[in-house]
Amino acid sequence: MRFFLAVAREGSLSGAARTLRVEHSTVARRVGALESGLGVRLFDRLPRRWTLTREGEALIEPAERLEREALAFDRAASSTANLHGTVRISAPPMFASQFLVPLLAARMDRWKGIDLDLHGEVRTANLHRLEADLSLRFMRPVEPGLAARKVGELGFRLYAAPAWRERPEADWRFLGYGDSLNDVPHQKLLARLAGDRPFVLRSNDLAAVHRACRAGMGLAMLPVFLARPDEGLVEMEGAPLPPPREIWCVVHPDVRRSPRVRLMVDLVAELIGENAAALA
């Protein structure tokens, strides 16, 4: 059922495989087995997409109803678990690797018996479908039915390689993020600051923007936790400061009752609070 719904939602084997974190051959095999068991063809296999047949469309609603019930069962089971087991955390990639992991490593005694499954991902994990137990986000969640807690703020500043300080502002070039982040405050401010001056690189990968800035390609609005400790970068003094982004810890209310999830929520919030100065 999960494989059927994933292909229906994504429209392709590769998309479903990414969602389910399995090989695309596994998806094809499971869907084929479902069709054989039902004696019904659920998808038309087109060169670039798999589209639902009329029979497949008729099964979407009951399949989703069963999925909701199964996920509710899993969340209820998680809420009765003890401190031993897996906690899945979803967080923006650079925040997870450069900020969160070193702090968690220093507090390993606090989460003995817990196996962390940390996913650094730009997309928003679907907590209703148990894609994560705990999600760290840089904006307040809008999905209904989730429990959210603001745990900190993330500051951005204008950074560049040192040589840019010696160049006239008219010659400045800029580095930005992809279209999906055009409306975040620090990118809107950077666009106004750039004016008619060029953006020589845009990327949805913060690591790429950071490395390009460090290599002297241009000026970028970077998170303080990443850029301030980097000796290859300097803050461009006098530049306007964008409002900070809020850091939210988000869980599903059913999962929040799990002792190990509750422990990790409290620990992550504590670590972010203790290191607020490194983030602002």
Radius of gyration of the chain (CA): 22
Instruction: Give the β-pairing of 174-177 and 199-203.
Output: parallel
Query: Which amino acid, residue 69?
Result: E
Question: How far, in Å, CA of 234 to CA of 74, rounded?
Answer: 48
Encoding tokens for residue 113? 């018996």
Per-residue pLDDT of the chain (280 residues; tens, 9 = 90+): 999 999 999 999 999 998 888 998 999 999 999 999 999 999 999 988 999 999 999 999 999 999 888 877 776 666 555 678 899 999 999 999 999 999 999 999 999 999 999 999 888 898 988 899 999 999 999 888 899 999 999 999 999 999 999 999 999 999 999 887 778 999 999 999 999 999 999 998 999 999 999 999 999 999 999 999 999 999 998 899 999 999 999 999 888 888 899 999 999 999 999 999 999 9
Nearest to 222 by CA among 248, 245, 197, 246: 245
Encoding tokens for residue 40? 């019904």
Specify whether the CB–CB gap between 28 and 42 falls below 8 A: no
Question: How far, in Å, CA of 217 to CA of 227, rounded?
Answer: 15
DSSP designation for 80: T
pTM given for the model: 0.73
Question: How far, in Å, CA of 185 to CA of 221, rounded?
Answer: 10
CA distances from 15 to 7, 22, 25, 181 (A): 7, 10, 12, 22
What's the gap between Cα 243 and its chain centre? 21
Structural domains of the chain, with CATH: 2-79 (1.10.10.10), 85-154+245-279 (3.40.190.10), 156-235 (3.40.190.290)
Alpha helices in 83-235 (DSSP H): 93-94, 101-106, 185-194, 206-214, 224-227
